[in-house]
């Protein structure tokens, strides 16, 4: 006999960047929500009506208690960074932790489980065409331990779906926008640019999506997605210089003039990680995984998923403006005029 509460939705990682926006939508829709968060996570942003359970997803017994009774389970909890001091944490959290959440949710009788994957695992060493939902990748294609851990987690989710379990998978591309409490890699990039801390750049391709569109997309995948399918939640394709050009207009900070060769970037990342591993313990300015990903095609075509889910993405310029304003308002930019003021100045200059 199932003890599932038909009104209960569970979100692991619900106090994170994407998770916070997802929980906000669910609460506004009058859903009963339980957030499962790491014992050390900051939950101040969560609405007061949300039930919070502290659990480390590496602990299977803790996960078993945390997901009990949930009808729908959104699994978002993960280490989203490209570096961690102990590389084994990536597999323990992103791969094994995902298996714990999925399997314990199934054992508890969950009606549907959404595993949140990532776009960075869908890249291959060669290929020039935009990546879509049908791309096939193998562990050998993974760039670094973060990507490998996320790929193995996704494969585990698909294995359970093929066996008949109610599991769906969503792959958001790089989320940007306001209210990123942990400063994910894209938000740190925006912050560092707007602080004038990036004197040089290494060209690469990107796909950016508004974090609020990701949250809405996850809800639609949960409600409409077909079991065992990958849903690609992507926004706009652009290269790094184009991204910096938009940020320059929003912030007044000039685009870096210097371009870093790949070999120099790789050497810099190696030294940065060496210092972080053995001395500082802080996130390095450059990571080996990040540099290696610059060699991959990160342009995506998510048209099929958008059509099936009836999703319309907002312009990424709007998302970037909101991200810059949030960073300024939260005190993370030293000197930066409001993006609206910068836009007004440009209009007056052109006039």
Q: How far is CA 277 from CA 85, 90, 145, 339, in A?
A: 5, 15, 15, 37
pLDDT value of position 297:
81
Torsion of CA 277, 151, 36, 174, to 10 degrees: 80
pLDDT value of position 345:
40
Nearest to 19, CA basis, from 32, 33, 5, 30: 33
Torsion of CA 132, 209, 246, 268, to 10 degrees: -70
Please state, in angstroms and rounded to a whole number, the distance separating the CA atoms of residues 153 and 168.
12
pLDDT value of position 126:
59
* pLDDT tens track for 78-128: 999 899 999 999 999 999 999 999 999 999 999 999 999 999 999 866 566
Angle between helices 240-251 and 316-329 (to 10 degrees): 50
Please state, in angstroms and rounded to a whole number, the distance separating the CA atoms of residues 304 and 234.
11
Q: Are 221 and 30 in contact (CB under 8 A)?
A: no
Please state, in angstroms and rounded to a whole number, the distance separating the CA atoms of residues 1 and 197.
58
Which domains does the chain show, CATH number per domain?
Answer: 5-178+208-235+300-314 (3.40.50.720)
Tokens 């968060």 -> residue:
37
Please state, in angstroms and rounded to a whole number, the distance separating the CA atoms of residues 268 and 117.
29
Q: What is the mean pLDDT of each run of 10 residues along the chain (351 residues)?
A: 85 97 97 96 94 97 97 96 94 98 98 96 75 91 95 97 97 97 92 94 94 98 95 96 97 94 94 94 91 89 96 96 96 63 43 43
Which helix (H) or strand (E) covers residue 230, if one does?
strand 230-233
- DSSP, residue by residue, 19-73: HHHHHHHHHHTT-EEEEEE-TT---TTS-TTSEEEE--TT-HHHHHHHTTTEEEE
Radius of gyration of the chain (CA): 20
pLDDT value of position 298:
85
Torsion of CA 228, 34, 150, 220, to 10 degrees: 40
The pTM score is 0.91
The DSSP 8-state label assigned to residue 253 in this structure reads P
Please state, in angstroms and rounded to a whole number, the distance separating the CA atoms of residues 224 and 173.
20
Task: Give the residues across from 174 on adjacent strands.
Answer: 208
At residue 324, the 3 state secondary structure works out as helix
**Tokens describing residue 283:** 């996130």
């Amino acid at each position: 006999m199932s003890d599932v509460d038909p009104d209960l939705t569970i979100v692991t990682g619900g106090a994170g960047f994407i998770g916070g926006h997802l929980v906000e939508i669910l609460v506004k829709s009058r859903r009963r929500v339980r957030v499962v968060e790491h014992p050390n996570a900051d939950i101040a942003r969560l609405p007061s009506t949300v039930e919070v359970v502290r659990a480390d997803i590496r602990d299977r017994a803790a996960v078993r208690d945390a997901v009990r009774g949930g009808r729908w389970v959104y699994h978002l909890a993960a280490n989203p960074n490209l570096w961690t001091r102990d590389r084994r944490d990536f597999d323990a959290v992103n791969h094994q932790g995902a298996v714990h959440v999925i399997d314990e949710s199934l054992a508890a009788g969950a009606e549907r489980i959404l595993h949140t994957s990532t776009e960075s695992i869908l890249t291959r060493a060669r290929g020039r065409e935009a990546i879509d939902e049908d791309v096939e990748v193998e562990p050998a294609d993974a760039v670094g331990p973060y990507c490998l851990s996320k790929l193995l987690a996704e494969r585990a989710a698909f294995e359970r779906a093929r066996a008949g379990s109610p599991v769906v998978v969503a792959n958001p591309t790089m989320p940007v926008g306001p209210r990123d409490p942990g400063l994910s890699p894209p938000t740190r990039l925006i912050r560092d640019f707007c602080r004038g801390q990036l004197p040089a750049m290494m060209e690469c391709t990107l796909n950016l999506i508004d974090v609020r569109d990701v949250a809405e997309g996850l809800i639609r995948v949960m409600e409409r997605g077909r079991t065992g399918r990958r849903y690609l939640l992507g926004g706009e394709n652009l290269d790094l210089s184009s991204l910096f050009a938009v940020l320059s207009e929003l912030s007044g900070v000039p685009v870096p003039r210097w371009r870093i060769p790949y070999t120099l970037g790789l050497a810099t990342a190696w030294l940065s990680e060496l210092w972080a591993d053995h001395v500082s313990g802080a996130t390095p300015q450059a990571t080996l995984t990040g540099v290696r990903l610059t060699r991959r095609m990160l342009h995506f075509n998510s048209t099929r998923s958008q059509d099936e889910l009836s999703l319309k993405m907002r312009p990424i310029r709007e998302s970037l403006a909101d991200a810059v304003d949030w960073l300024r308002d939260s005190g993370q930019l030293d000197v930066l005029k409001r993006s609206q003021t910068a836009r007004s100045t440009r209009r007056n200059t052109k006039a």
